[in-house]
């Protein structure tokens, strides 16, 4: 069983923030795969369901971002899970908007939600990094991630959320390659059978003219001579 965690801040005030893309992804997964209604538990809200035969628990910590690890740890203890059974979905300013990466282990790169998770369960869990872009200067980061997505972001954001939802069954089985392929089919769909964006039509080859079909020469030598002097 996998514990799939989306990071964010609780409350309508934050619901459309860039920092809440993890919550958004879990909401899409739950809706698309028929998970039951969310209920309060483990210092967060959970929805427990299945992707086919594979059981999974979706968790949105309600401790606020900086204390996300408390909720994750409580859920892990209840379900008797190890860090390798946990997948965390979170916003990533070091990736361009619409980019998605999967990794296991590593540092928290200053992300306060991941910092808290690290402190409570260690670094050996999987994470799905959902790119939201960088404001350009580190001092602008807090205000940037706590602002709503712009209208111009709607199309790529919808593609990312749908792609993550499409690949959620693969997260539940731990198949990162299949998960990333499912995301890629949404955010970078193949445009033609050749894989080319604007494949050029092949130029038709000229058809050679038919070879002449000379008439058989049936004239006698005498007739040829008469024709020659006409």
- Dump pLDDT digits (tens) for 142-162: 999 999 999 999 999 999 999
The CA-based angle 92-82-59, given to 5 degrees, is 50
- Dump pLDDT digits (tens) for 23-54: 999 999 999 999 999 999 999 999 999 999 99
Record the tokens describing residue 116, joined without a space: 């808290």
- Which pLDDT value is given to residue 213? 53
Of 224 and 174, more confident: 174
Instruction: Report the range of poorest mean pLDDT among 47-61, 79-93, 95-109, 198-212.
Output: 198-212
Backbone angles phi, psi at 152, to 5 degrees: -65, -15
CB 131 within 8 A of CB 99: yes
CATH number of 2-187: 3.40.50.1470
The CA-based angle 8-125-5, given to 5 degrees, is 30
Flag whether pLDDT at 200 surpasses 50: no
- Which pLDDT value is given to residue 11? 95
The Cα–Cα gap between 10 and 1 comes to: 25
The Cα–Cα gap between 11 and 4 comes to: 20
Q: Could you state, in order of their start, the residue ranges of all structural domains in the chain?
A: 2-187
Q: Which residues carry out catalysis? A: 19
pLDDT tier at 80, thresholds 50, 70, 90: very high
CB 41 within 8 A of CB 124: no
- Which pLDDT value is given to residue 210? 52
Instruction: Report the range of poorest mean pLDDT among 31-35, 173-177, 192-196, 222-226.
Output: 192-196
pTM of full prediction above 0.85:
no
The terminus-to-terminus CA distance of the chain in angstroms comes to 105
Flag whether pLDDT at 198 surpasses 60: no
Note every long-range contact of 152-156, with CB atoms under 8 Å and residues 24 or more positions apart, other chains counting. Answer: 153/97, 156/97, 156/98, 156/187
């Amino acid at each position: 069983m996998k514990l799939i965690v989306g990071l964010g801040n609780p409350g309508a005030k934050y619901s459309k923030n860039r920092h809440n893309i993890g919550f958004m992804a879990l909401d899409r997964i739950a809706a698309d795969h028929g998970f039951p209604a969310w209920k309060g538990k483990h210092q967060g809200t959970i929805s427990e369901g299945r992707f086919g035969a594979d059981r999974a628990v979706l968790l949105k910590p309600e401790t606020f971002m900086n204390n996300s690890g408390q909720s994750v740890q409580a859920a892990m203890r209840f379900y008797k899970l190890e860090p390798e059974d946990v997948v965390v979905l979170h916003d990533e300013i070091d990736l361009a908007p619409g980019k998605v990466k999967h990794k296991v282990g590593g540092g928290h790169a200053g992300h306060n939600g991941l910092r808290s998770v690290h402190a409570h369960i260690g670094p050996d869990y999987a994470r799905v990094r959902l790119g939201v872009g960088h404001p350009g200067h580190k001092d602008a980061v807090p205000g940037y991630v706590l602002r709503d997505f712009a209208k111009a972001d709607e199309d790529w954001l919808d593609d990312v959320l749908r792609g993550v939802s499409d690949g959620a069954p693969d997260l539940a089985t731990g198949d990162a390659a299949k998960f990333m392929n499912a995301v890629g089919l949404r955010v970078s769909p193949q445009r033609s059978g050749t894989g080319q964006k604007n494949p050029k039509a092949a130029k038709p080859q000229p058809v050679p003219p038919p070879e002449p079909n000379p008439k058989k020469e049936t004239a006698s030598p005498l007739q040829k001579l008469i024709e020659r002097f006409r």
